[in-house]
Amino acid sequence: MRISERGCDERGMITLWVLGLTVAVLFLGGIGVDFWRAIAVRREVAAMADAAATAGANGLDESVLRGGGLRLDDGRARALVAAELAENPDAVRLSGEDVTVNGAQITVTLRERVNFSLLGLFMHGGRFVVQARATAQPQEIP
Protein backbone atom coordinates (compact mmCIF):
# COMPACT_ATOMS: atom_id res chain seq x y z
CA MET A 1 0.00 0.00 0.00
CA ARG A 2 1.37 3.37 -0.96
CA ILE A 3 1.15 6.48 1.19
CA SER A 4 -1.08 8.31 -1.27
CA GLU A 5 -3.54 5.44 -1.17
CA ARG A 6 -3.95 5.77 2.62
CA GLY A 7 -5.09 9.36 2.32
CA CYS A 8 -2.21 10.86 4.35
CA ASP A 9 -0.90 13.86 2.53
CA GLU A 10 2.28 15.02 4.27
CA ARG A 11 3.42 17.51 1.69
CA GLY A 12 4.60 20.73 3.33
CA MET A 13 5.46 19.18 6.71
CA ILE A 14 9.17 19.80 6.18
CA THR A 15 8.42 23.46 5.53
CA LEU A 16 6.49 23.72 8.81
CA TRP A 17 9.30 21.99 10.72
CA VAL A 18 11.93 24.30 9.23
CA LEU A 19 9.80 27.37 10.02
CA GLY A 20 9.26 26.20 13.61
CA LEU A 21 12.95 25.47 14.10
CA THR A 22 13.87 28.86 12.63
CA VAL A 23 11.64 30.66 15.11
CA ALA A 24 13.06 28.58 17.98
CA VAL A 25 16.65 29.31 16.93
CA LEU A 26 15.88 33.04 16.64
CA PHE A 27 14.36 33.03 20.12
CA LEU A 28 17.31 31.18 21.65
CA GLY A 29 19.74 33.39 19.76
CA GLY A 30 17.90 36.44 21.10
CA ILE A 31 18.26 35.17 24.64
CA GLY A 32 21.99 34.65 24.10
CA VAL A 33 22.57 38.03 22.46
CA ASP A 34 20.61 39.94 25.10
CA PHE A 35 22.20 37.98 27.95
CA TRP A 36 25.72 38.87 26.80
CA ARG A 37 24.65 42.43 26.11
CA ALA A 38 23.36 42.69 29.68
CA ILE A 39 26.70 41.43 30.97
CA ALA A 40 28.61 44.00 28.88
CA VAL A 41 26.37 46.87 29.98
CA ARG A 42 26.61 45.72 33.62
CA ARG A 43 30.40 45.79 33.34
CA GLU A 44 30.32 49.36 31.99
CA VAL A 45 27.89 50.55 34.66
CA ALA A 46 29.95 48.86 37.39
CA ALA A 47 33.11 50.60 36.15
CA MET A 48 31.32 53.96 36.23
CA ALA A 49 30.03 53.28 39.75
CA ASP A 50 33.50 52.27 40.96
CA ALA A 51 35.09 55.40 39.52
CA ALA A 52 32.37 57.64 40.97
CA ALA A 53 32.60 56.06 44.44
CA THR A 54 36.39 56.36 44.43
CA ALA A 55 36.15 60.01 43.42
CA GLY A 56 33.52 60.67 46.09
CA ALA A 57 35.71 59.09 48.77
CA ASN A 58 38.16 61.96 48.22
CA GLY A 59 35.62 64.46 49.55
CA LEU A 60 36.94 64.53 53.10
CA ASP A 61 35.66 66.92 55.73
CA GLU A 62 38.82 68.94 56.40
CA SER A 63 37.84 70.13 59.87
CA VAL A 64 37.39 66.53 61.06
CA LEU A 65 40.58 65.49 59.27
CA ARG A 66 42.57 68.16 61.15
CA GLY A 67 41.24 66.71 64.39
CA GLY A 68 42.57 63.27 63.45
CA GLY A 69 39.37 61.64 62.18
CA LEU A 70 38.07 60.56 58.81
CA ARG A 71 34.63 61.66 57.70
CA LEU A 72 33.25 62.66 54.33
CA ASP A 73 31.76 66.06 53.64
CA ASP A 74 28.37 65.19 52.13
CA GLY A 75 28.19 68.10 49.68
CA ARG A 76 31.79 67.80 48.57
CA ALA A 77 31.56 64.02 48.07
CA ARG A 78 28.37 64.37 46.01
CA ALA A 79 29.99 67.11 43.90
CA LEU A 80 32.98 64.87 43.20
CA VAL A 81 30.67 62.01 42.16
CA ALA A 82 28.73 64.34 39.85
CA ALA A 83 31.98 65.65 38.34
CA GLU A 84 33.26 62.11 37.72
CA LEU A 85 30.02 61.09 36.02
CA ALA A 86 30.00 64.29 33.95
CA GLU A 87 33.43 63.37 32.54
CA ASN A 88 32.25 59.93 31.42
CA PRO A 89 30.54 60.10 28.01
CA ASP A 90 28.58 56.89 28.70
CA ALA A 91 26.93 58.42 31.79
CA VAL A 92 24.27 60.12 29.64
CA ARG A 93 22.64 56.69 29.15
CA LEU A 94 22.06 56.25 32.89
CA SER A 95 18.43 56.20 33.98
CA GLY A 96 19.11 56.73 37.66
CA GLU A 97 21.77 57.32 40.25
CA ASP A 98 21.74 57.25 44.04
CA VAL A 99 24.53 58.56 46.26
CA THR A 100 24.56 57.75 49.96
CA VAL A 101 27.13 59.23 52.31
CA ASN A 102 27.33 57.61 55.74
CA GLY A 103 30.18 58.91 57.88
CA ALA A 104 33.38 57.86 56.12
CA GLN A 105 31.68 55.63 53.56
CA ILE A 106 30.07 56.51 50.23
CA THR A 107 27.83 54.25 48.19
CA VAL A 108 27.01 54.97 44.54
CA THR A 109 24.21 53.06 42.80
CA LEU A 110 23.76 53.49 39.05
CA ARG A 111 20.98 52.16 36.81
CA GLU A 112 20.65 51.93 33.06
CA ARG A 113 17.67 50.81 30.98
CA VAL A 114 18.61 48.70 27.98
CA ASN A 115 16.23 47.81 25.17
CA PHE A 116 16.04 44.20 24.02
CA SER A 117 17.74 43.68 20.69
CA LEU A 118 16.75 40.38 19.04
CA LEU A 119 14.31 39.43 21.81
CA GLY A 120 12.48 42.69 21.10
CA LEU A 121 10.89 40.90 18.14
CA PHE A 122 9.21 38.46 20.53
CA MET A 123 8.63 40.79 23.48
CA HIS A 124 7.31 43.84 21.62
CA GLY A 125 10.26 46.11 22.29
CA GLY A 126 10.70 45.41 26.00
CA ARG A 127 13.64 46.50 28.11
CA PHE A 128 15.58 45.43 31.15
CA VAL A 129 17.29 47.40 33.90
CA VAL A 130 20.95 46.94 34.76
CA GLN A 131 22.09 48.13 38.19
CA ALA A 132 25.53 48.35 39.80
CA ARG A 133 26.53 49.49 43.28
CA ALA A 134 29.99 50.51 44.50
CA THR A 135 31.12 51.48 47.97
CA ALA A 136 34.33 53.30 48.91
CA GLN A 137 35.86 54.85 51.96
CA PRO A 138 39.03 56.83 52.51
CA GLN A 139 41.98 55.20 54.24
CA GLU A 140 44.69 56.92 56.14
CA ILE A 141 48.13 55.76 55.09
CA PRO A 142 50.79 56.50 57.73
Q: CB neighbours of 66 closer than 8 A, spacing ≥ 6? A: none
Q: Does residue 112 carry a pLDDT above 80? A: yes
Alpha-carbon distance 69 to 61, whole Å? 9
Q: Is 141 a member of any domain? A: no
Instruction: Kindly report the backbone phi and psi dihedral angles of residue 41, in degrees, each rounded to the nearest multiple of 5, phi listed first.
Output: -65, -40
Percentage of residues of the chain with pLDDT beyond 90: 43
Mean pLDDT of 33-41: 87
Q: Is 98 a member of any domain? A: yes
pLDDT number for residue 9: 67
pLDDT number for residue 120: 67
Alpha-carbon distance 87 to 70, whole Å? 27
Q: Is 102 a member of any domain? A: yes
> What domain range is 39 assigned to?
11-136
Q: Is 108 a member of any domain? A: yes
